[in-house]
Amino acid sequence: MRTPEEEAATIQILDPAVDTTLVHARLTRALATRQYLQNVSQIGPPKLQETGQDIPFSSTENLNRLMIGLLAKEPLHEKPFTSTVPVLGPAIVAIRTVWNWISTRWYVLPIMQQQIQINQQMLLVLNELAQRQELDAQRIAELEARLQER
Amino acid sequence: MRIHQLSFGLIPGDAVSNSTLAIDAQLQAWGFSTALYAQHVAPQLKAHALPDVQFVPFLDSRDDLLIFHYSIYSPNIRLFQAFRGRKMLIYHNITPAKFFAGWDDHQAALCHMGRQALKTMTTCELAVGDSDFNRQELIEAGFDPAKTAVLPLFLTLPDALKNGRLPKPLPQEKATWLTVGRVAPSKAIADVLRIFAIYKHNINPHAELFIVGSLNVTTYVEALKSLINDLSLVNSAHLVGLVPDSQLEAYYRQADLYLTTSHHEGFCVPLLESMVHGVPILARQSSAIPETLGEAGVMFQELGYEAVAEMAHLLLSDAVIRQQVIQKQQQRAADFNTTRAAARLRAVLTRLEGTAGE
């Protein structure tokens, strides 16, 4: 907690034409006497209180973070039909389920299976690339260290 | 010698774009053959610039000069790296990624990549920063200090004293505050709002605040709207958004005070604009702000909301202090006028003429 004098001293005027002693004295007086209605520093969303934090942004760390996010995604799956309509709801769901089974399920399910396989394969490829990237980053760091020693 | 300028974008109202266009006009006035290229060219500026890929046929033009404006990551840094003639980098600074973390991850990644890529652009005849703050970052990134210089942002600003922009008198009752720039976490707009809230609720209930600048970091803008509500400023603090230059001029003309709490500025053009419009400046002492202000304006170090609000009150109520501050600012603005900026640009070109490309 700063005193009014210390608070006033945070104001800086470099122009020699301005009487900074007088400015600081007036600020000190105002800060000591005015009754402020609210303490604004804690108002508003908590995130606005934060100043920026350094984030791990090495290419491999970022890539790994994204990979973990991808792996955590659920594979594709069918979603059962639902209805919020009172009384008739179960009948609507039953009709839509039967109609889906007759008209589209036989067609869509194999495509979904193909897409699941593609996604899994893509994940493997990405994982492989991420690992290679990590190895390359390590090698570059080693080479840079050796260059520094020379 | 043909002079090409290359940048990420050419967008109306953007400081780097304005500088690129001003340099181009000056070079043409000196008789140089010039061309502008950018990855993104706004429809209004299509007559002035070409898509960056159209620079490819000139990559081996050893007699030409390429001026590359660098302010954000862009794939067209490859064109700069591949060019075989003389090269000059103008570094306008890139906001550290940490300021966007948790607000806009895409922007954070672009900023991070931009700063990383700077280290791969050190092969050039000259690298200049808009400020010594920017020049120091170039040296930290690995540029040869002997091949660096400071070239303040080249802008054609109206002359403060010749255009009738006389120092403004004290506001009668309603005090209008202004802050200009992209509404982004690095600018700490929440601090502007808190300082303004103290002034409004404790000193002058008739005050108004205009926040002018792009609102594209939407998560941050939403948090600010919530803060405006919590601080009971809904009818007095206005998030205006990006405006055309003519409207921006009007905001400066009606402003009684300019406040910036920004944590990171490579130069800060709004300070210059405030100077020429006779608007007293109250600014956080951070990054390149002290350098741009020189001895002008009023700065605050560690932020005390009440102390800054009281200083704003002094600037808005004491005619003597107000006039002294405005006068010093207008003297400072003269250091950046077109004549001096042109002389500095000419000196840089002369320095480049004594070099050879790859």
pLDDT number for residue A57: 56
CA atoms within 13 A on the CB side of B69: 28
Q: In what order do the strands lie in the sheet with B2-10?
A: B50-51, B33-41, B2-10, B65-70, B86-91, B126-129, B148-150
Measured in whole angstroms, the distance separating CA A117 from the mean position of its chain's CA atoms is: 29
Q: Which residues contact B230 (CB under 8 A, 6 or more apart)?
A: A43, A44
Contact B306, B198 (CB under 8 A): yes
Say if A25 is an interface residue toward chain B (CB within 8 Å). Answer: no
Interchain proximity B310–A27, CB inside 8 Å: yes
Contact B182, B262 (CB under 8 A): no
- CB contacts, 8 Å: B97 with chain A: 55, 57
Measured in whole angstroms, the distance separating CA A42 from the mean position of its chain's CA atoms is: 23
Nearest CA of chain B to the CA of A98: how many Å? 44
Q: What is the mean pLDDT of residues B161-174?
A: 61
Looking at chain B, the whole-number percentage of residues with pLDDT higher than 70 is 95
**Tokens coding B307:** 């102390």
Q: What is the mean pLDDT of residues B32-48?
A: 93
Highest mean pLDDT among A88-102, B25-39, B105-119: B25-39
Longest dimension (CA), chain A: 88
Interchain proximity B305–A40, CB inside 8 Å: yes
Helix H or strand E encompassing B179: strand B176-180
Nearest CA of chain B to the CA of A114: how many Å? 31
User: Given a cut of 60, is residue A59 above it in pLDDT?
Assistant: no
The CA–CA distances, whole Å, from A83 to A91, A97, A103, B185 equal 9, 12, 20, 44
Q: Where are the beta strands (DSSP E) in B114-159?
A: 126-129, 148-150
pLDDT number for residue B93: 96
The CA–CA distances, whole Å, from B231 to B66, B199, B209, B315 equal 50, 12, 13, 23
Helix ranges restricted to H, B54-124: 77-82, 105-118
Measured CA to CA, the distance from residue B322 to residue B311 in angstroms comes to 11
- Chains A and B: how many Cβ contacts under 8 Å? 118
pLDDT number for residue A71: 65
Per residue in A10-43, pLDDT (tens digit) is: 999 999 999 999 999 999 999 999 988 878 888 8
- CB contacts, 8 Å: B299 with chain A: 11-14
Written as one letter, the residue type at B232 is S
- Whats the size of chain B, residue-wise? 358
Per residue in B47-61, pLDDT (tens digit) is: 999 998 899 889 889
Contact B214, B183 (CB under 8 A): yes
ipTM: 0.87
- Please return the burial class of B198, using the count of CB atoms within 10 Å of its CB with bins 0-12, 13-18 and 19+: buried
Interchain proximity B197–A40, CB inside 8 Å: yes
Q: What is the mean pLDDT of residues B167-196?
A: 89
Which of the residues B263, B321, B325, B326 would you substitute to probe the A interface, choosing the one with the greatest number of A C-beta atoms within 10 Å?
A: B321
**Tokens coding B169:** 């008198």
Written as one letter, the residue type at B222 is E
- CB contacts, 8 Å: A13 with chain B: 298-299, 325
The CA–CA distances, whole Å, from B41 to B13, B19, B48, B49, B156 equal 13, 15, 9, 7, 21
Say if A53 is an interface residue toward chain B (CB within 8 Å). Answer: yes
Measured in whole angstroms, the distance separating CA A102 from the mean position of its chain's CA atoms is: 43
Which range has the worst mean pLDDT, A92-101, B93-102, B155-164? Answer: B155-164
Q: Which residues contact A104 (CB under 8 A, 6 or more apart)?
A: none
- Please return the burial class of B136, using the count of CB atoms within 10 Å of its CB with bins 0-12, 13-18 and 19+: middle
Interchain proximity A27–B201, CB inside 8 Å: no
- CB contacts, 8 Å: A40 with chain B: 194, 197-198, 231, 305
- CB contacts, 8 Å: B305 with chain A: 40-41
pLDDT number for residue B161: 46
Interchain proximity B306–A7, CB inside 8 Å: yes
Q: What is the mean pLDDT of residues B264-286?
A: 95
Interchain proximity B303–A10, CB inside 8 Å: yes
Reported confidence tier of residue B164, pLDDT bands at 50, 70, 90: very low
Per residue in B203-221, pLDDT (tens digit) is: 999 999 999 999 999 999 9
Measured CA to CA, the distance from residue A53 to residue B99 in angstroms comes to 7
Interchain proximity A26–B314, CB inside 8 Å: yes
- CB contacts, 8 Å: B301 with chain A: 10, 12
Measured CA to CA, the distance from residue B167 to residue A16 in angstroms comes to 19
Q: State chain B's mean pLDDT as an integer.
A: 91
CA geometry: angle at B200 spanning B199 and B204, to 5°? 85
User: Given a cut of 80, is residue B45 above it in pLDDT?
Assistant: yes
Q: Which residues contact B190 (CB under 8 A, 6 or more apart)?
A: A44, A48, B223, B224, B227
φ, ψ dihedrals at B159, nearest 5°: -70, 130
CA geometry: angle at B216 spanning B215 and B219, to 5°? 90
| Beta bridge partner(s), residue B178 | B210, B258
Written as one letter, the residue type at B347 is A
Which range has the worst mean pLDDT, A68-72, B137-141, B189-193, B341-345? Answer: A68-72
For β-strands A11-12 and B298-300, DSSP reports them as antiparallel
